[in-house]
Amino acid sequence: MIKSSIKWLALIGLAFFISSCAKPEPKLLQIQGQTMGTYYQVTYMLSSEQSKNKDLSTESLQVLIDLELELVNDQMSTYRPNSELSLFNKSKDSLAVSDATIKVVKKALEVYQQSNGAFDITVGPLVNLWGFGPDKKPNKVPDAKLIENTKQKIGSQYLSIEGNRLIKSKPELYVDLSSIAKGYGVDVIAEFLTKLGIKNYLVDIGGELRANGTKPNDTPWTLAVERPEFGQNVQRLLHIGDNAIATSGDYRNYFESDGIRYSHTIDPKTGRPINHKLVSVTVIDKSSMVADALATAITVLGPENGLEFATKLNQPVFLLTKKDDGFIESFTPEFEEFFAEEK
């Protein structure tokens, strides 16, 4: 009896010794902050070797990430009077800017051409007119004549690039990159983490996300398409792999006047808020910048034209359209592989 007890205790001791010598399981680390008028959140995982590196601690990484995001704001913010973009908007014809700003504007002009003008980074004066700009006073419908006059001030066809110079052929042209800059910021942080050797992360800036690798135990990052109803219900679960995802919708930012609901998304062609039933657009791409821009373009185009546009691009896109009794899903064939099985 005594011998068996000793053996049993020895086994416990051996098990404790083995478990104490085992490598600790990697855990998820998280950094949170504010940028571009919204939140950012970086979730990442380090290897056991990386965990010993103080430069990769949450405190050290947050300082570096904040610096990266501050640079993006100094380049592309319309809220900072001395940002590159603000200085260009104040100029009469042209301004030399950074490679980063050129990159984002070049992609914006490309999507403008692809979408036949649905995506237009010069639409800011109309957004402000309808009360969805910095003043945030959406309470009444502007006069029709004022809408037409304001439309004369916009148009990406009046914006061009020569080398590192942004050029406008209309002195009053105003560029706002808010529909693409958050996505660009996500790409900046994702690529920064990759350069540091961090392979497993999820970067989120105001709902624009980019994932890479996995969570602990090789579990995939699981994301959700939200159903636009109270209670934040989940419409679909997704595994996006090493990709970015952006969602655009009109169900949160709007105002009502005389019983009519006016979306914050402005159609550059009409000068008015979109009035179709497409409430949510989700786009997957390698680049968050691209996904961000395309989601806005498809939202403006509407359910039929938007799906046709996405299909021509072979782009993974998921649409939710409001019907009297709920929502109708539609998606391109390329999107199907990202659906996660609900368990």
Q: Are residues 88 and 64 in the same domain?
A: no
Q: Quick one: 57 and 87 in the same domain?
A: no
Residues 194 and 252 placed together within one structural domain of the fold: yes
Residue 226's pLDDT is what? Answer: 85
Q: How far apart are CA 251 and CA 255, in angstroms?
A: 10
Question: Are residues 150 and 271 located together in one domain of the fold?
Answer: no
pLDDT along the chain (343 residues), means of 10: 40 44 73 96 95 94 98 96 97 97 98 98 90 66 90 96 98 95 98 97 97 95 83 84 90 47 78 87 98 97 96 97 87 97 55
CA 256 to each of CA 6, 137, 176, 207, 262: distance values in angstroms, whole numbers, following the listed order: 78, 12, 25, 25, 6
Strand (E) or helix (H) holding 14: helix 2-21
Asked whether residue 102 falls in the same domain as residue 234, the answer is no
Q: Is 127 contained in some domain?
A: yes
* Alpha-carbon gap, residue 5 to 46, rounded angstroms: 42
Specify whether 95 is located in the same domain as 159: yes
Q: Tell me: do 94 and 236 sit in the same domain.
A: no
Tell me if 21 is assigned to some domain: no
Q: Which residues contact 295 (CB under 8 A, 6 or more apart)?
A: 246, 247, 248, 281, 282, 283
- What is this structure's pTM? 0.89
Full domain range(s) for residue 161 = 81-168
Q: What is the pLDDT of residue 231?
A: 55
How many domains are there within the chain?
Answer: 2
**Helix segments in 174-238, DSSP class H:** 181-195
- What pLDDT was estimated at residue 259? 46
Same domain, 113 and 194: no
Q: Are residues 299 and 326 in the same domain?
A: yes
pLDDT on residue 157:
97
Q: Where among 113, 145, 168 does a domain terminate?
A: 168
The pLDDT value recorded for residue 40 is 98
